[in-house]
């Protein structure tokens, strides 16, 4: 056995459970404009990713959408974030497929379309504003993704398209936990691949 720290099954199970838990206001990473956080857990054939990003670089504002343009930007961001296969490409050799994508807009989705009250007529009538002050953790978007891989032993890396999909992104801060080890770092524009620690 080598002395490099292998991640125990218990730790992986706990990490997966944490990623499976609902996003909570106040949890997760600090709110920073231009910074997208990515937490990744690889466990056997399962790959789970959780994304957290400030509304500032996802839609360009951090309050409930008000104008028609903001509603359109909001819907476009939801659609872009929900497209797991476009945003993340595990190595083709690993034969992974996206099995789920769940997007949680700021405010837990309450601020999205379908809001019962007609805030579009009076921009500041809605109560959500008071909670979030248009800023802080309430301005964060979250998304959870699951992939299943038929040949996980061939998974050496995951490509992402976050800089392309959200051009206001300055950094992707990632951490990854796998049976073969853990790693983390910061990616900047042009760095589109996250390596999975190799078994030895
Ligand atoms: Zn902000």
Q: What is the pLDDT of residues 78-111, one digit of tens each?
A: 999 999 999 999 999 999 999 999 999 998 654 4
> Is there a domain that residue 51 lies in?
yes
In a domain, 173, yes or no: yes
What is the 32 CA–ligand 1 centroid distance (Å)?
A: 6
Q: How far is the CA of 52 from the centre of ligand 1 (A)?
A: 12
- Interval between CA 72 and ligand 1 midpoint (Å): 20
Å from CA of 57 to ligand 1 middle: 9
Is 190 part of any domain? yes
What is the tens place of the pLDDT at every residue in 3-43? 446 778 888 888 877 777 766 555 578 999 999 999 999 99
Q: Does any domain span residue 175? A: yes
Tell whether 49 is covered by a domain: yes
Residue 161: inside a domain, yes or no?
yes
pLDDT tens track for 145-182? 999 999 999 999 999 999 999 999 999 999 999 988 89
pLDDT in tens, 126-153: 333 334 444 556 789 999 999 999 999 9
* Both tokens assigned to 196: 């999975």
Domain that holds residue 144: 35-106+139-195
User: CA-to-CA distance for 117 and 141, rounded, in angstroms?
Assistant: 22
- Residue 28's SS3 state is coil
Residue at 75 is within a domain:
yes
pTM exceeds 0.95: no
Q: How far is the CA of 35 from the centre of ligand 1 (A)?
A: 10
Residue with tokens 């104008």: 67
For residue 196, report the distance from its CA to the centre of ligand 1, in Å: 31
In a domain, 113, yes or no: no
Number of domains in the chain: 1
Residue 162 CA to ligand 1 centre (angstroms) = 18
């Amino acid at each position: 056995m080598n002395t490099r720290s292998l991640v125990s099954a218990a730790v992986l199970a706990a990490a997966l459970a944490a990623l499976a838990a609902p996003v909570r206001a106040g949890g997760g990473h600090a709110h920073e404009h231009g910074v997208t956080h990515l937490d990744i857990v690889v466990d056997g054939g399962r790959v789970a990713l959780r994304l957290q990003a400030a509304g500032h670089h996802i839609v360009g504002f951090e309050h409930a959408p008000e104008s028609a343009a903001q509603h359109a930007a909001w819907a476009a961001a939801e659609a872009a974030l929900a497209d797991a296969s476009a945003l993340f490409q595990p190595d083709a050799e690993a034969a992974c497929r996206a099995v789920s994508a769940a997007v949680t807009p700021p405010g837990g989705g309450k601020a999205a379309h379908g809001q019962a009250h007609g805030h579009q007529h009076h921009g500041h009538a809605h109560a959500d504003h008071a909670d979030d002050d248009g800023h802080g953790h309430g301005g964060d978007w979250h998304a959870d993704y699951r992939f299943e891989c038929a040949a996980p032993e061939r998974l050496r890396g995951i490509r992402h398209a976050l800089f392309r999909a959200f051009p206001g992104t300055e950094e992707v801060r990632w951490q990854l936990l796998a049976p073969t080890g853990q790693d983390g770092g910061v990616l900047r524009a042009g760095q589109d691949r996250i390596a999975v620690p190799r078994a030895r």
